[in-house]
Structure 1
Amino acid sequence: MSGIDQTQINANVDHAEIDKFSALAHKWWDKDSEFKPLHDINPLRLFFINRHASLKNKTVLDVGCGGGILTEAMAHYGTKQTMGIDMAEKSLKIAKLHALETQTNNVNYRLISVEDLAAEMPAAFDVLTCMEMLEHVPDPATVIRACAKLVKPGGWVFLSTLNRNIKSYLQAIVAAEHLLRLVPKGTHDHKRFITPAELARMCRTAGLITADSKGLTYNPITRQYRFTDRLDVNYMLACRVGC
């Protein structure tokens, strides 16, 4: 398996994180549940992705798809085929059920690691997304290398995570988890947050070229998210795979 060691794959799953999201699996599509922030930011994520990659008729992979909120939304943009992968079986069952209920026929889901899929289907996708997932794995660099391997030359990889600084600790953990209770306590570990410089370095090492970046900010008064040019808390990168 070129560039990816099987031992790393086995070690690159945090079962405590899997259990954490599995316990909430039944709430994935409840827009007033702990997953409300994901539903609220989904239109912004879709706009950012589609502006660069133009999803229509593309083959798309969503890594760490959870219950399929982003996966299914991308499929509705007219993708040729959209696949979601995750290591939480309960979340995938919810995703599959919701796709059946909404008759979203151009989406499918698999219980498989991104590293194993990269070995099975190299250069198979036009577009890949990996959102709010990198801060939940022991070795995000291995995930990024696998993501790059899965996408065709010239294709797009979209990543999002949380910056690691005092502001992100105060906003993403103290405020979001304890004061505003936007997400459950313990959702995030600040030590696992990734600075933009660290993420950019991982991308370069994996052969990805950063084309754009955007931050997301939350207004607790209006309870709305919007884009910002500041990457100091939540942020997204759009990357091209080198030809």
Structure 2
Amino acid sequence: MYRRFGRFMLGHCPREPVHVCKTLLSGRGRTALKWPVCQHHTYLLRKTKRMDVELHAFPCQISARPASQTTVDPSEIKRFQSLASKWWDEQGGFSALHALNDLRVPFIRDNLLSLHGGHRPGKPLAGLRILDVGCGGGLLTEPLCRLGANVLGIDPVADSIGTAQLHSSFDPDLHHVIRYKACTLEELLGEEGAEEAEEGDGKFDAIVASEVVEHLADLETFTFCCSNMLKPGGSLFITTINKTRLSYVLGIIVAEQLLRIVPSGTHDWDKFISPVALERLLESNSFSVQSIRGMLYNPLSGNWSWTNNTDINYALHALKVSEEPLPDLD
């Protein structure tokens, strides 16, 4: 029982603090955060596009920060590399993620249907392009594909992608329609931009990052990439863990120090992110948060349920808003 209690707390990792300045978000009645550097870069990116210079000419250099800046944390890669063959063990360390599909799949489906409607019985998401970031072994990628969506799953751990490809190969309904790629989000945006553009307009209707942001090295880069990979009006779905005293008690004191369910030092409470902080970060990158819902895991039953309390886990849905023209900086 104790092991099941701690599984959903596994692997919450680095997030570097950022320094911001406050501005008033007009029409919303609350404070938002803006990054002048990112705003300036967005202007330059748009200007570059107007000059018809291909985006992939600047691989991975998606902001004014050093080119080495990335969403990937090497320690996370090493940890998930060792777990790559265990994704589809429903009784193993990923059992809580398997159970989470009971919430996250309907959450994604219903929000997309409210925006786009369903046009095909049995395949309500047909015609929609979805990017599953940090897809691991494809636990969420496969059910989204079964709903009719054109899904691309990406993950920086090549062995996890191999596991995902192998598992989908046993299902004739998925084998020829699901796609996986071993890469990071910034690599997909930069180096693979031209390839993606050949298959459509290079933009996605939705991006899913489920139990991912707590593993990233740089959330600012992540949100910038998501904004530039989505169509205007596209959806971003995130599930993650809150930054509260309760999450500290459960994730560090109980799971690591008392029950020793996970190795000591796995969690860093300072690197968790609250719904408020995540919403502000998203709003600074052309997103409008539509809903935030709390999620609760029952270690006895192994099931998840919706709750009004977001103190531990929560799900977020945001829309990419129409880009406002930036002032001429020449």
TM-score by length of 1: 0.91
Mapped partners of 1:188, 1:77: distance in 2: 34
Partner residue, 1:13: 72
- TM-superposed CA distance for 1:145, in Å, is 1.4
Which of 126, 130, 152 is the aligned partner of 1:60? 130
Which of 222, 226, 230 is the aligned partner of 1:147? 226
Q: Decide whether aligned partners of structure 1 residues 212 and 9 sit closer, same or farther in structure 2, where only a CA change above 3 A counts.
A: farther
User: Are 1:74 and 2:144 counterparts?
Assistant: yes
Mapped partners of 1:232, 1:200: distance in 2: 15
Q: Decide whether aligned partners of structure 1 residues 162 and 9 sit closer, same or farther in structure 2, where only a CA change above 3 A counts.
A: farther
**1:49-198 pair list within 5 angstroms:** 49-54=108-113, 55-79=125-149, 81-103=150-172, 104=174, 105-119=176-190, 120=193, 121=196, 124-176=203-255, 179=259, 181=261, 187-198=266-277
Which of 41, 58, 63 is the aligned partner of 2:100? 41
- TM-superposed CA distance for 1:219, in Å, is 2.1
Percent identical: 35
Mapped partners of 1:90, 1:128: distance in 2: 22
Q: Which has the larger radius of gyration?
A: 2
- TM-superposed CA distance for 1:143, in Å, is 0.3
State the structure with bigger RCO (CA 8 A, min sep 6), 1 or 2: 2
Which of 58, 80, 85 is the aligned partner of 1:26? 85
Mapped partners of 1:233, 1:133: distance in 2: 15
The code of the aligned residue for 1:71 comes to: T
Partner residue, 2:53: none
Stretch moving more, 53-62 or 82-91: 53-62
Q: Which runs of 5+ in 1 are unaligned?
A: none
Q: Deviations over 1:127-181 (max 9, x none)?
A: 1101111111121121011112111111111012111111012223444566394
Mapped partners of 1:115, 1:68: distance in 2: 20
Mapped partners of 1:219, 1:97: distance in 2: 31
Q: Which runs of 5+ in 2 are unaligned?
A: 1-40, 46-60, 114-124, 323-330
Mapped partners of 2:305, 2:141: distance in 1: 21
The code of the aligned residue for 1:161 comes to: T
The code of the aligned residue for 1:142 comes to: T
Mapped partners of 1:187, 1:141: distance in 2: 22
What root-mean-square deviation, in Å, do the aligned CA atoms of Structure 1 and Structure 2 show?
2.2
The answer to whether the 8 Å contact 2:70/2:186 transfers is no
